Amino acid sequence: MSYQKLFDSKISTEAAKAWRAQGKKAVGTICCHVPDEIIRAAGILPVRMRATDCVDSSSGEVWMSTFSCSFARSILQYWMDGVYDLDGIVASDGCMMPSRVFDNAEYIDKKNGKNRFFYQIGAPRIVNDMTLSYYVDELKELIERLEKFSGVKVTDEALKEYIAKYNEARVLVQQVAELRKADNPVINGQDFSSIILAYTDYPIEEYIEMLKEFLADAKNRKPYTEQRARLMIIGSALDDPGYLKIVEDKGGIFVADALCFGTRAFPGQLEVDDKDVLGSIAKYYLERLVCPRMMDDRATLHEYIINTAKEYKVDGIIYEKMQYCECWGGESVLLEDELKEAGIPLLTVEREEHLANAGQLAIRAEAFIEMIEK
Amino acid sequence: MAEIEKVDYWRWTESNWRNPEIADVTGCLLTAGVDIGSTSTQAVVLADGVPFVYSNMRTGNNSPDSAINAMNWALKDTGLKTEDIEYTIGTGYGRVNVPFSNKNVTEITCHARGANYIYGPTIRTILDMGGQDCKAIHCDEKGAVTSFMMNDKCAAGTGRGMEVIANLLAVRVEDIGELSFKVDEEPDPVSSTCVIFAKSEATKLMREGWTKEKVLAAYCHAMALRVVRLLERNGMEPDFAITGGIAKNMGVVKRIERIMNVKALEPTMDTQIAGAVGAALIAKDLVEKKRAKA
Amino acid sequence: MITAGIDCGSQNTKGAIMKDGKVIAQAMQATEFDADLAAKNVYEKMLKDAGITKEDVEKLVITGVGRDMIKWGDNEINEVGAAARGARFVDPACETVIDMGADSCRVIRLNQDGTVMKYEVNDKCASGAGTFIETMARALQISTEEMGDYSLRHTKELATNAQCVVFAESEVISLIHAKEKIEDIAYGVHMGIANRIASMIRRVGLTDTLVMIGGPAYNKGLVSCMSKVFERDIKVLDNNQFVSAYGAAIYAAEK
Amino acid sequence: MAKDTRLEDAVLRGEMSIVDFCCEKVNGQIERMKERNPDLLWTLEIQRAMWEMFRDGHKNGKKVIWFGGPVPVDLIVAFDCVPVYLDTVPIRLSPNPVLAARFIDAAEKYVPNSMCGIDKVELGMTLLNQFGPEPDAFVYSSVPCDSSRIAYPNMDMILTKKGTPCFAFDTPFRRDERGIQYLVDQTKRFISWMEELTGTKFDQEKYNEVCKKTNRTFEWQGKCAELRMRKPCPLPGRMLVLNGTSNAMSGFDAMGDLLEKEYEVGEMLYELGMGPCPEGEKHRVALLQNMLWSSAGTMDWLEREYNTVAVMDAFGFQYGDIYEHIGDLEDCLRVMARKMQNNPMIHGASGPSENFIYLVDKIFENYEPDVSMFIGHIGCKHTWASAKMVTDMIQEKYGIPSLYIDVDGIDGRYKSLDEIKASVADYMDTVVNK
Ligand SMILES: Nc1ncnc2c1ncn2[C@@H]1O[C@H](COP(=O)(O)OP(=O)(O)O)[C@@H](O)[C@H]1O
Ligand SMILES: Nc1ncnc2c1ncn2[C@@H]1O[C@H](COP(=O)(O)OP(=O)(O)O)[C@@H](O)[C@H]1O
Ligand code: SF4
Ligand code: SF4
Ligand code: SF4
């Protein structure tokens, strides 16, 4: 097995197929407050759903209307089209759009008499002791449901086993991200994005192996040297390296990000308190920095963006907003001024899941690069 | 059965120009900028950084040809050939299709630089209104871009829409501005600036008995409102100027000024050539930098 | 009983005269600025062709987006109602009607008794209607009528993305520069439209039979792309541009 | 005669506050009403009471507290503070597109234009600092609505910079027992926070008084709602707008008085066999989303032209909870928590779609409309994303198809009243009246 799979951003269903072929269950997951450790401990394979390469989302549009985020709508399309052949969905209420993907998927499923497994975790948007205990209760209920569904008891031992594995992956991803700090990094934005996307499709063990192989080989890779500007990308869910390619073809190189499908998904380590394993999981997932869905850590998010930009010696930030994405769309109110203060140039662009007007992005990116290149 | 176009009211006048004060350019550093826009193509040649000749014509269906034609037309009667130019920069949406260019640079960077030259170093906000898009650009005293914003996805409120209306009402684009002020009272803007719907809306208004002038006023008004939003978003910092083809349409310009309560600087040359001038200036800088290094 | 219907569309004004459930005359003319005049001309021509006078016509009903401009009809009916009646008249079995005009597209789902169950209208962006195709044809330097044949001869499944008419026009031009074949580009344009109206059709519910009326229905390339997207035949009615005018005349005969 | 727009112009120039504008406007309306239609004066009194209370809050030595989303308003009132329900601002400004536009445009400088107009106006008003009296605090919640979840925290950050204290509730996504307890726990913290803010102790007696008033409001509101179930419906569709205000003002006598009066008048009309439709009620329509704030005229027109009355809208529909054991704090807090969860449209038909479907089902069951319209406010994308499930349910269970149109309930520039009417008319002519 080679690590080449890391660089194929297409949705791969082979791992899930193989898993299910053994008579085990696999579920789709949506959003950032679904702890994979728990799902694995219940003997179930989590597959983080995405919409890469979805060209036509008209069925999704029928259910979610044109006034919906096309990333979410395209996931529903893939679900309806059977691109993801899974045993159910576990979601957390990130923003309203994935919640509606969940609702519609469940509704359509019932209508078609399928009755697969559906559970939505209510994840708090404020971090304090009270909200943490609410989240713990929500996770307890998830565990009960999962146990019933898979017939596997979720034990502290199993949870710890998977926490260790996911922690290992976190370390490895952070090491990959470190590579981007070099003046002439051996991976560009497209590469990194593909590596992160691969995580969604494969069991964690397989992913860890691929990362290790890649890291061992990394120094043999040819560094990128032609770049005119170092960029960071932030904004709405982005699961399409093709988007980054357009910008990198114009001479930029992405060296950092603050994206759902990016470094931000693998921060730090999940510290286990042996006396309260579930509580440790809840604490990690609730406290880690996610996105503007959280109401009280915007300042930290902004700080993270600015610090990362500095740490990775970024010349400018590209802020992509999905159309109808309020979550990220509204973040500019204070962020714009803060970036200005920090002296970091910013380019804001609108986009849709399906890359329709590549030319328009290209011209903006090129002009931005001309503006910031040294 | 090909379509027979009756009179092309949208066809604005093409032009070329030669600086009467420069008789001889031997020994001068010649740099050029060629701006292939969606609608128009300009070629500008600078002699030691001073405009020497330029041409301004419509972009044909083939960008490389447009570039060559524009350049030839500009150089006509000067005795110069394309090869005599030291360094050429292509810009505009067809910038990669300038066969004889040494480099290409986006029209955003070029327009800022060009505006800085045309309007002087106090210029801070530039609104470039072209055939298919609109850009609000900020720049510093050197004409370097500090931020910019463009219209997205929808071409509503661009020159192309104006051309459709011109054709529909049988009014030359050049005359739209003046006619649009021949109304007793400013009508409400048309509700849709979509190229297609504006046409049907204008048709509907005509059917309801509106005069051409009133329809034009309503359309210019709508277009001004649309770009003003872009300007507001990017922030307005004087001095302010408008470049691109629509800058010649006073019907839109005056309305923008009124809504924003600002005065745009008076252009000293053809506003459509700002991009090409900028490109030629950047070409000059590059040559000088190279020479200094050598 | 003799009744008449006039459909004053944004591009064309169409009329029909019916006698006891049969069409005895029909005519069409470009609407241009004077809808009233166009309708008058159409009406007079039809009367002449049918060899009757105004007095013979019991009732005249006007429909279409320009119907407000015509004050001399006996009654009016909106476009949805007219299209529904007309389509049922021409094809008694039809369940869903796609009515595409120059600027607009409507999808109408009928009840068993021919009344309207639900419908969808696109009135925000012209990207799914006749003018879009016309503009692309112009960019390809072929006539609108030829678009269909070119598209049917495509050899490659080219995809075009831009929605906006204007951007689509430049996309087409860059495809020409990229040496793509006109046939394939035409196909890409039609496929794009078919995909865009797909969700309208799905929203009213996909039925076994789909019929298409209005000028663009003459475009075989477009129709074939729609068949492909929905995996079923799209029926194109005879005289499809006149169907709504029939509907208006039929409405005139009701009650 | 040209319309007098001096007040509007002053607001547009930033010289007049929103609160002063609304007070002047409402007083002007009252003066005119006195001459023309003194019988209807009662319909305006609540407006006057509310806006003047906002305006004079500081003068009367009270703290002015902004609130957004489901929060325990009764407690704010019990602490003798002035509760300002922010949504009343966009709804009040929306009939005038130019005014609403000032605040919408201010917000759109930063946020996408797809954001809900309600939240854009609120954010814009905060950015321009033009409400009037500076708020002494801001209380909000994480309503399951993306637009407000973005607008409120941004407003929080802007206000916090100025030193204004803010309190945020975390609204649970699902409605269940766990959620109720969660809200009760948070409310307890809120009480301590209010004590600190006001420097006074929580006063059970005062709270009991407010509970009584609130109960009265919701009892009358329930009765008015029952009136609407009768056939013919004696109350005009336009009055559905009031349901929004009732939430904000439920703890005040004025609201109870208004609803009592509304009920009396409605009962009288019903006795007389009269109603808003000139030729008698032919159809009754349920609005599956919110009231058309910016174009409420559509309702009058439907009554006049089609003898069709709007009996209920999904965002105003309440099955108001009543305090059963006033004096028992724990129990009252639970009722309040339930209200916060059930409130259909303090940005409501949100949370899981099943709640929305359930709510609409109840409307159809109780009000028996024969026409269904999803006149969808485009900002409210999460209701749009449930719309098909809801309308499918109506079609299957009640055999009624639904009209869909997109409007902007706040920004009248999106679609004019005439355009909306034309779409509704087409539907009434082709589908309803066949
Ligand atoms: N003299 C004029 N008066 C009014 N409009 C004009 C004039 N000349 C050109 N235009 C308009 O300007 C537009 C072209 O602007 P331009 O900046 O050249 O576009 P681009 O750079 O995108 O090709 C056309 O739509 C044309 O109608
Ligand atoms: N033979 C044809 N082939 C392809 N397209 C056609 C043909 N005839 C008409 N059309 C298209 O039909 C449209 C006009 O249709 P019509 O139903 O008359 O529209 P409207 O009712 O809006 O005036 C035009 O966009 C035209 O391009
Ligand atoms: S956060 Fe934005 S991109 Fe992500 S699902 Fe929500 S609306 Fe879509
Ligand atoms: S509304 Fe008009 S201008 Fe805008 S995208 Fe659609 S066709 Fe283009
Ligand atoms: S109308 Fe909808 S989007 Fe707007 S504030 Fe209410 S719930 Fe949120």
With an 8 Å Cβ cutoff, are C166 and B195 in contact?
Answer: yes
Q: How far is D415 from chain B (nearest CA, A)?
A: 9
Tens of pLDDT along chain D (434 residues) come to: 457 788 999 999 999 999 999 999 999 999 998 888 888 888 888 889 999 999 999 999 999 999 998 899 999 999 999 999 999 999 999 988 889 999 998 998 889 889 999 999 999 999 999 999 999 999 999 888 899 999 999 999 999 999 999 999 999 988 889 999 999 999 999 999 999 999 999 999 999 999 999 999 999 988 998 999 999 999 998 888 777 677 778 899 999 999 999 999 999 999 988 889 999 999 999 999 887 788 888 999 999 999 999 998 887 776 668 999 999 999 999 999 988 887 765 545 568 898 889 889 999 999 999 999 999 999 999 999 999 999 999 999 999 999 988 899 898 888 888 889 988 998 898 888 87
Within a domain: D376: no
Contact, D77 vs D210, CB < 8 A? yes
Within a domain: D285: no
Token duo for residue D422:
């034309």
Instruction: Tell the residue number behind the tokens 């505006």, with chain if given.
Output: B115
DSSP string, B253-275: HHHHHHHHT--PPPPSS-GGGHH
pTM of the predicted protein model: 0.88
Within a domain: D122: yes
With an 8 Å Cβ cutoff, are B229 and D108 in contact?
Answer: yes
Question: Radius of gyration over alpha carbons of chain A, in Å?
Answer: 20
The full set of domains in chain A, from first to last, is 2-157 (3.40.50.11890), 181-373 (3.40.50.11900)
Q: Does residue D297 sit in helix, strand or coil?
A: helix
* Closest by Cα among C188, C198, C68 to C122: C198
Give the ligand at the shortest distance from the Cα of D290. Answer: 5
Within a domain: D351: no
> Which of A109, A140, A296, A333 is most worth mutating to test chain D (most D CB atoms within 10 A of its CB)?
A333
Atom 1, ligand 5: residue with shortest CA distance: D380
pLDDT in tens, C160-181: 877 778 778 878 887 887 889 9
Residue B15 CB less than 6 A away from ligand 1: no
With an 8 Å Cβ cutoff, are C199 and A55 in contact?
Answer: no
CA of B79 to the centre of ligand 1 (A): 29
With an 8 Å Cβ cutoff, are D142 and A295 in contact?
Answer: yes
Residue B33 CB less than 6 A away from ligand 1: no
Contact, B265 vs B119, CB < 8 A? yes
Tens of pLDDT along chain A (374 residues) come to: 478 889 988 999 999 999 999 999 999 999 989 999 999 999 999 999 999 998 888 889 889 998 999 999 999 999 999 999 999 999 998 899 999 999 999 999 999 999 899 999 999 999 999 999 999 999 999 999 999 999 999 999 999 999 999 999 999 999 999 999 999 999 999 999 999 999 999 999 999 999 999 999 998 999 999 899 999 999 999 999 999 999 999 999 999 999 989 888 888 999 999 999 999 999 999 998 878 888 888 888 999 999 999 999 999 999 999 999 999 988 888 899 999 999 999 999 988 888 777 777 888 899 999 999 87
Within a domain: D179: yes
The side-by-side arrangement of strands in the sheet containing C75-76 is C22-30, C12-19, C2-8, C59-63, C75-76
Q: How many domains does chain D have?
A: 1
Residues of chain C with CATH 3.30.420.40: 2-85+242-254, 93-236
Q: How confident is the model at residue B151 (pLDDT cuts 50, 70, 90)?
A: confident
Rounded Cα distance between C136 and C172, Å, is 7
Q: Does B117 touch chain C (CB under 8 A)?
A: no
CA of B137 to the centre of ligand 3 (A): 29
- B290 phi/psi in degrees, rounded to 5: -60, -45
Q: For domain C2-85+242-254, which CATH number applies: 3.30.1360.10, 3.30.830.10, 1.10.240.10, 3.30.420.40?
A: 3.30.420.40
Please name the CATH architecture into which domain C93-236 falls.
2-Layer Sandwich (3.30)
CATH, residue D165: 3.40.50.11890
Q: Which atom of ligand 1 is nearest to the CA of B243?
A: 17
Contact, D169 vs D140, CB < 8 A? yes
Report D:162-221 residues touching A (Cβ under 8 A): 168, 170, 172-174, 178-179, 182, 185-186, 189
Residue range(s) defining the domain that contains residue D14: 2-200
The full set of domains in chain B, from first to last, is 15-112+273-293 (3.30.420.40), 124-264 (3.30.420.40)
Rounded Cα distance between D24 and D16, Å, is 11
* Closest by Cα among A164, A170, A165, A172 to A274: A164
Chain B neighbors (3+ CB pairs < 8 Å): A, C, D
Token duo for residue D240:
């559905």
Within a domain: D51: yes
